[in-house]
Amino acid sequence: MKAAVLKAFGSPLAVEHRPDPVLGTGEVIVDVVAAPILSYADEVFSGARNYPLPPPVVPGCGAIGRVRAVGPDATKLASGDWVFCDPTVRSRDDALMPDIVLQGWSARGEGGAKLQRYHLDGAFAEQVRVPTENAIPIGPIAETEAARWCAINTLLIPYGGLLAANLQAGETLLVSGATGNFGSATVAVALAMGAACIVTPGRNEAVLADLARRFGSRVRPVMLTGNEEVDRARMMEAAQGPIDCVLDILPPSVRTQVVRAAVMSVRPYGRVILMGGVGMLGGDDLALPYPWIMRNDITVRGKWMYPPEAVRMIVGLVRAGLLRLEEYAVTEFALSRVNEAIVHAAANGGPFRLTVLRPGGAMRDSVRKSP
């Protein structure tokens, strides 16, 4: 098969022939039709993000494809089924505290590194081998739709946070980081889940206006000033009532004061979900007042990724018409243009934009855009 290989950090990916993956018990081989390229992939491949991704490796985090072969213990999947290849691989020998690896992307801790040594190669290839439970059926689609279905790779991240928050239909949510790639996806998913109102603070006036245009009066934009007290007051005023839940998904570069202004707008007995990167680059950590948390009975929870059942549930939201993949503008690249695609993803990583690699199918050395 052909694959794009990262041979060393800081070097372009090399497209070359690699051995086809070998099927084992508890595994599935998938023909990759479309694989998303994350907007910060260039930072990972350059080594700037210092990800635990040992070269040589076929990278790629998630994919849409068709089942080529299944192991002897598969009872439902069959050759030809359309599936989402979930990159979140969990160890099977500790259900309480599983080690986790993002296949083709990163690992966490010593156990994750051990798991990664087996589930290393990702989806920037014509075929990928995944655990059986990670090949999740999405139902019949046309091959031309595969690239847009890659959007669920992004949508699943905030969906995991909203499930952890136990967001209920009719509640008010504040999305801290709403103008970013994952933040805008949070808005779309929360509306699909029935949120009555979503407060969307940010500094990018154009993106805030676009969110309101796309989703209507249930979205309440708030322009941030940089003053923590002023911004908190503006957020609470925009909600026109109690804020039931705050989900923070801001990147590592943001100051902690911005996060705290949003977090402390939540009502008494409210919930806060932390999914962003504050402090990960060595900056100040988030400091929340102990008395405020205790006396107001605030629930603060961290969340990384999403539970295994989330994929089937988000597919249900798409199939029901509640979550529109058509919101995403998609640019597709043939496998031979993978390095061009990585540059494009970095320059076009805003809300509702998707860069996709097409290892399989009819594309040949070309680029294709879908509005």
pLDDT at 370 exceeding the cut of 90: no
List pLDDT tens digits, range 201-222: 999 999 999 999 999 999 999 9
- Residue 82: phi and psi, rounded to 5, are -80, 130
pLDDT at 371 exceeding the cut of 80: no
User: Tokens 């695609």, residue?
Assistant: 341
pLDDT for 363: 61
Mean pLDDT (the chain, rounded):
95
Task: Work out the average pLDDT over 311-322.
Answer: 97
List pLDDT tens digits, range 127-138: 999 999 999 999
* Residue 172: its H or E element: strand 172-176
User: Tokens 């040589």, residue?
Assistant: 56
Cis check for the bond before 52: say yes or no (omega within 30 of 0): no
- Topology of domain 2-151+328-370 in CATH is Quinone Oxidoreductase; Chain A, domain 1 (3.90.180)
- Residue 33: phi and psi, rounded to 5, are -100, -40
pTM: 0.93
How many Cα atoms are found within 13 Å in the side-chain-facing hemisphere of 42? Answer: 13
pLDDT for 251: 86
| CATH assignment, 157-302 | 3.40.50.720
Which residue type occupies 151?
A
Q: Which of 316, 34, 348 is nearest to 181 (CA)?
A: 348
**Residue 56, both tokens:** 């040589």
SS3 (DSSP) at 55: coil
Q: Give 89's strand partners.
A: 101
> Could you give the CA distance from residue 38 to residue 171 in angstroms, rounded to a whole number?
31
- Residue 208: phi and psi, rounded to 5, are -60, -45
- The H-assigned helical ranges of 117-227 are 146-149, 152-164, 181-192, 205-215
User: Tokens 């249930």, residue?
Assistant: 218
List pLDDT tens digits, range 121-174: 999 999 999 999 999 999 999 999 999 999 999 999 999 999 999 999 999 999
User: Tokens 């979140």, residue?
Assistant: 88
List pLDDT tens digits, range 42-86: 999 999 988 999 999 999 999 999 999 999 999 999 999 999 999
pLDDT for 200: 98
Buried b (16+ CB within 10 A) or exposed e, 231-270: bbebbbebbeeebbbbbbbbbeebebebbbbbbbbbbeeb
Q: Strand pairing of 271-274 and 245-248?
A: parallel
> Could you give the CA distance from residue 158 to residue 176 in angstroms, rounded to a whole number?
12
pLDDT at 97 exceeding the cut of 90: yes
> Could you give the CA distance from residue 311 to residue 179 in angstroms, rounded to a whole number?
24
Residue-range domain boundaries for the chain: 2-151+328-370, 157-302
pLDDT at 366 exceeding the cut of 70: no
